[in-house]
Structure 1
Amino acid sequence: MAAALRGPGGRFRWRTWAAAAAAAAAAGGVRGAARSAAAGRQDYDLLVIGGGSGGLACAKEAAQLGKKVAVVDYVEPSPRGTRWGLGGTCVNVGCIPKKLMHQAALLGGMIRDAPHYGWAIQPVLHDWRTMAEAVQNHVKSLNWGHRVQLQDRKVKYFNIKAGFVNEHTVCGVAKDGKETLLSAEHIVIATGGRPRYPTHIEGALEYGITSDDIFWLKESPGKTLVVGASYVALECAGFLTGLGLDTTVMIRSIPLRGFDQQMSSLVTEYMASQGTRFLRGCTPSRVRRLPDGQLQVTWEDLTSGKEDMGTFNTVLWATGRIPETRSLNLEKAGVNINPNSQKILVDAQETTSVPHIYAIGDVAEGRPELTPTAIMAGKLLAQRLCGQSSDVMDYDNVPTTVFTPLEYGCVGLSEEEAVARHGEEHVEVYHAYYKPLEFTVAERDASQCYIKMVCLRKPPQLVLGLHFLGPNAGEVTQGFALGIKCGASYVQVMRTVGIHPTCAEEVAKLRISKRSGLDPTVTGC
């Protein structure tokens, strides 16, 4: 491995790592090497801490543009002992396995629909082990793919847990306890977050699991209590119900906080109609394991103040996430964090309080906790560091989808945000309840399939937000997100020819405003 030394005029000159190590040893080992790094000798142009989507995108982009790059990544096992490979939350315990298990649940619904379309299907049962093995094998293939991509781009990968020694140097510890000292001219922190355990609840840590575990279970979780109201909670509860498991969601306050609340209500109404039970206004106080292995959960009804209890096979905590900053020794580098959220404070260029240290993705304060935003932010940061561009990440009008049984896609402002920002008298909301054609023959309930477009009232009525609840919401929202990003108006959307027969075409047919008071239910073909 080569080490970079800054020569006259700020240019790098290179020598072998052996020589650099010898110099470090002569200077007094790790501390001496740290002092040498602080004095200007750097191993890498760019060091990325964190091997998730954002960090890998940044590292690969910088390497493609000619920089010498290293990535350090280490997954601390979950309290239940679950481990995974390179790729971060999205690949291993987030978007990818979640969407595949969501698809498994959707297939169950299609099987139930099939007889209405003439298919003679015998009763079938779902096998968790088969699904889990297939999902996990796909995830492992992605882990391997990331390793190959780093190797192809000559990015050095270290499977070590890193913490700062000073503002240019980190010390990484491997599983065997071996220490590695690395330094770089620029450092990017992309360590993401992990699920929050409610440790104040008796038995929560001992007997509960999180989204870090659910996708790696070898056996079915059985009757499950999901505690939380986030999109993680609802997505997991949705596919568990869809796979035929007895599933209950315990919500302390409101579902999908931060999303449009009318849409959130429709999401949970549909889930309830499909068999998911909801305990609203409740909070758990204790989890105990019974002699037969079941988990007895005690909770309080916050409205009545009364206690209740139930038994479950699995308790899944989905009560929020915390950033992975605690073991980074950020104070040794002078990197400032928000003391409340523990997230790293950054400016519009992703720069921390230290000019050559950056933070992207979920670990950065004020950033959406979404994989695609971390990826784009990482690529743009690499391009700026390599002098290829001055573009910064635009966090406005970022589309996303909640993969609940009836999918919810959105981009732009919620109705509440639009009214708060512009005033109710300046906002026009066009909406429709519609029935997907594929629901008709199977006689599926479509009462929660709903679209609304939030616009400025003043012509040409700039579109502020779009909210879509129905099949394939992500696919529908992605296309309209481009239009909204480009400043589409309601007039332009109405001049867009729809593709018939699709759910997406209903967006281009939104004629009824909430203000009119007319029935927004779509009738006819």
Structure 2
Amino acid sequence: MSEFDYDLFVIGAGSGGVRASRIAASHGAKVAVAEEYRIGGTCVIRGCVPKKMLVYGSHFAEELQDAAHYGWTIDSMRFDWATLRDTVLRDVDRLETAYTSTLDNNRVEHFHERATIAGAHAVRLASGREVTARYILVATGAWPVMPDFEGNQYCITSNEVFHLPELPERVVIQGAGYIAMEFAGIFNALGSKVTVVNRSDVILRGYDEALRDRLLQITMARGIEYKFHCPITKVEQRDGGGFTVTPGKKDPIPADVVLIATGRRPNTDGLGLENAGIDLGPGGEIPVDEFSKTACDSIYAVGDVTDRVQLTPVAIREGHAVADALFGGEKRTIAYDCIPSAVFSQPPIASVGLTEGEARNRYGNVKVYSSDFRPMKNVFAERHERGLYKLVVDANTDRILGIHMIGPDSPEILQAAAIAVRAGLTKADFDATVALHPSMAEELVLMR
């Protein structure tokens, strides 16, 4: 008889937790997972997947407008928010069922209730039951931050935005990170009046400056209004419906929806980590070593709750690595450099490796190649928006340090290009590659 109820108990059934559970079970471990919300976690239930579907839905506004230039006549064009919303939510249900089936098919027991840590090898369920495990994995993700200001109870976060009863005519969004910029693009395309307010004058901090500037210019031309250096100080409910938003010392803004997108905080409140001698970091994150182990030898943590890199594919790799190390005899670390990322703004941004500024600070002598072009699709549609691609190169070794793109389909193009950066290929390797014509991707091998 085992001295523990389970070999591995996972708290949180998001992407990282489900992957760790499945892989551990495939190695023969007895595994259980607890999830207090819905199986699938942030990405599947209230994050990147349903958001990307809204992005797809909003793109039809542009496509239908441009169709006339390609010979199409479309009469009685109209949009119904409820149809898109309900389609997205149905697919979320489908994905939750698929994730649940993955656990069932791998004989992973799952508890639909909150779980907290009661000790180095003990987990307490909300029902009062206490179970033991040889190892515990915390994969509870992160939660939207709600700033403290008068009237914040009238605001929503990215958790609630997928359930709006109707398409708002006026949307105020606080924040200028990827969540803010993506929903600004979605609502703008669907016809809402969008105002973005931010405490600084920088959007998408961490991305290449030239791409940020280009996105700002394009979105302003599309009708998105920006108010910088003025975080929200008050939201008041209006008698006739809607709200009045006060951004700092600037004039109030009328709104039907106020979306707060000011970042996400590791979801560690009340987890009981202190019962295992684990102290949280300054941002509420769980400190871990390179193998995702906490200060307690039997407890591990992966994904956004560690505040390393808040990306779903990273959490999946971390969870997989933990399961392999604990039960598969394969101990390995995760490489956090050269991770590709994208912002599904309109137009989208995609990036991998070092920005121009980061490269100059680290290497000093760098070369920057760029292509500033008007995509063929935009030319035919008489759109004047321009794409911008950049290659950041180490001048001493010719190795490509970073690739940064803004324009239609940039994320789809970047995934393959990211392999080249990860592999350490050079600018000469790109130059020696024959262009695929006509395409936007060919710009990557034509820069001189």
Superposition TM-score, scaled by structure 1 size: 0.84
Greater alpha carbon shift after TM alignment, 109-118 vs 121-130: 121-130
Determine if contact 1:407/1:471 at 8 Å carries over to the other structure: yes
Determine if contact 1:381/1:392 at 8 Å carries over to the other structure: no
* 2:156 equivalent to 1:224: no
C-alpha contact 1:336 1:352 (8 A) present in aligned 2: no
- Alignment-mate amino acid for residue 34 of structure 2: V
Shift, 1:149, TM fit: 1.0
Partner of residue 186, structure 1: 135
Q: Which residue of 2 aligns with 1:295?
A: 243
* Equivalent-residue separation in structure 2 for 1:149 and 1:414 (angstroms): 38
Partner of 1:319: 262
Q: Deviations over 1:243-298 (max 9, x none)?
A: 11111111221111122222112112111111111112222110010111210111
Q: Give the conservation status (yes or no) of the 8 Å contact 1:418–1:427.
A: yes
Q: Secondary structure at the match of 1:454?
A: strand
Shift of 1:466: 0.3
Distance 1:472 1:307 in 2: 37
Match of 1:355 among 297, 314, 334: 297
Q: Deviations over 1:7-47 (max 9, x none)?
A: xxxxxx25xxxxxxxxxxxxxxxxxxxxxxxxxx3111111
Conserved? CA contact 2:230–2:250, under 8 Å: no
Q: Which residue of 1 aligns with 2:425?
A: 488
SS in 2 for 1:56: helix
The aligned residue for residue 451 of structure 1 is 389
**2 CA distance for matches of 1:329 and 1:226?**
34
Alignment partner of 1:467 is 2:408: no
Question: Any idea what the Cα deviations from partners look like across 1:300-351, whole Å, max 9, x if unmatched?
Answer: 2xxxxx442121101000011111101101100112321x201010111111
Partner of 2:413: 476
Give the TM-score normalised by structure 2.
0.98
Shift in Å at residue 123 of structure 1?
A: 4.2
- Contact 1:351-1:358 within 8 A present in 2 as well: yes
Q: 1:391 matched to which residue of 2?
A: 332
Match of 2:157 among 177, 199, 210: 210
Amino acid at match of 1:129: A
Q: Distance in 2 between matches of 1:58 and 1:218?
A: 36
Give the whole-Å Cα distance in 2 for the aligned partners of 1:342 and 1:270: 36
Partner of 2:439: 502
What amino acid maps onto 1:380 in structure 2?
A: A
1:129-187 Cα shifts (integer Å, max 9, x gaps): 000000000001001111111111000000111111111101010xxxx2221211111
Asked whether the 8 Å contact 1:133–1:218 carries over to 2, the reply is no
Shift of 1:192: 0.4
Matched, 1:267 2:182: no
- SS of equivalent to 2:275: helix
Corresponding residue for 1:404? 345
Q: Which whole-Å CA distance do the structure 2 matches of 1:122 and 1:262 have between them? A: 39
Q: Counterpart in 1 of 2:15?
A: 53
Task: Please name the residue that 1:285 is paired with.
Answer: 233
Report how far residue 218 of structure 1 moved.
3.0
1:30 maps to which residue?
none
Aligned residue in 2 for 1:431 = 370
The answer for the alignment partner of 2:271 in structure 1 is 328
Deviation at 1:356, TM superposition (A): 1.8
Paired residues for 1:23-422 under 5 Å: 41-75=3-37, 85-173=38-126, 178-199=127-148, 201-204=149-152, 206-253=153-200, 254-300=202-248, 306-338=249-281, 340-365=282-307, 367-422=308-363
Q: Hey, what's the Cα distance between the residues in 2 that align with 1:387 and 1:143?
A: 27
Query: Which digits, 9 at most, give the CA deviation of each residue in 1:435-486, with x for residues without a partner?
Result: 2111111111223x10001110014x11111001111111111001111111
Q: Which amino acid aligns with 1:179?
A: G
Contact kept, 8 Å, 2:197 with 2:247, in 1: the verdict is no
User: What amino acid is the match of 2:305?
Assistant: V
Find the aligned partners of 2:290 and 2:431 in 1 and give their Cα distance: 35
- Give the Cα–Cα distance (whole angstroms) in 2 for the partners of residues 135 and 66 of structure 1: 36
Percent identity between the two aligned chains? 36
1:227/1:318 contact within 8 Å kept: yes
User: Secondary structure of the equivalent of 1:224?
Assistant: strand
Deviations 1:47-81 (A, max 9, x none): 11111111111111111121111111112xxxxxx
The CA distance in 2 between the partners of 1:218 and 1:371, in whole Å, is 28
Per-residue deviation, 1:363: 0.6
State how far apart, in whole Å, the 1-side matches of 2:129 and 2:424 are: 50
Cα distance in 2 for partners of 1:331, 1:117 equals 63
| C-alpha contact 1:94 1:211 (8 A) present in aligned 2 | yes
* 1:307/1:295 CA distance change after superposition, 3 Å: same
Instruction: Mark the runs of 5 or more structure 2 residues left unpaired by the alignment.
Output: none
Query: Within 1, Cα distance between the matches of 2:27 and 2:435?
Result: 42
**Does structure 1 retain, via aligned residues, the 8 Å contact 2:22–2:106?**
yes
Amino acid at match of 2:347: L
The answer on whether the counterparts of 1:62 and 1:386 sit within 8 Å (CA) in structure 2 is yes
CA distance in 2, matches of 1:322, 1:269: 30
How far apart are the structure 2 equivalents of 1:70 and 1:499? 49
- For residue 390 of structure 1, report the CA deviation from its aligned partner: 2.2
Offset from partner CA, 1:176-202 (integer Å, 9 cap, x none): xx2221211111111001100012x10
Counterpart Cα distance in 2 of 1:405 and 1:307: 27
Task: Tell me the C-alpha RMSD between the 2 structures.
Answer: 1.1
Deviation at 1:432, TM superposition (A): 1.1
Deviation at residue 507 of structure 1 after TM alignment: 0.7
The runs of at least 4 aligned residues of structure 1 exceeding 3 Å deviation read: none
Opposite residue 169 of structure 1, the aligned amino acid is A
State the Cα distance separating 1:497 from its structure 2 match: 1.8
| 2:169 and 2:191 in contact (8 A); partners too | no
CA contact (8 A) 1:163 1:171 kept: yes
Q: Determine which structure has greater relative contact order: mean sequence separation of CA pairs < 8 Å that are 6+ residues apart, divided by chain length.
A: 2
Q: What are the Cα deviations for residues 399-419 of structure 1, in whole angstroms up to 9, with x where unaligned?
A: 011000011000001111111
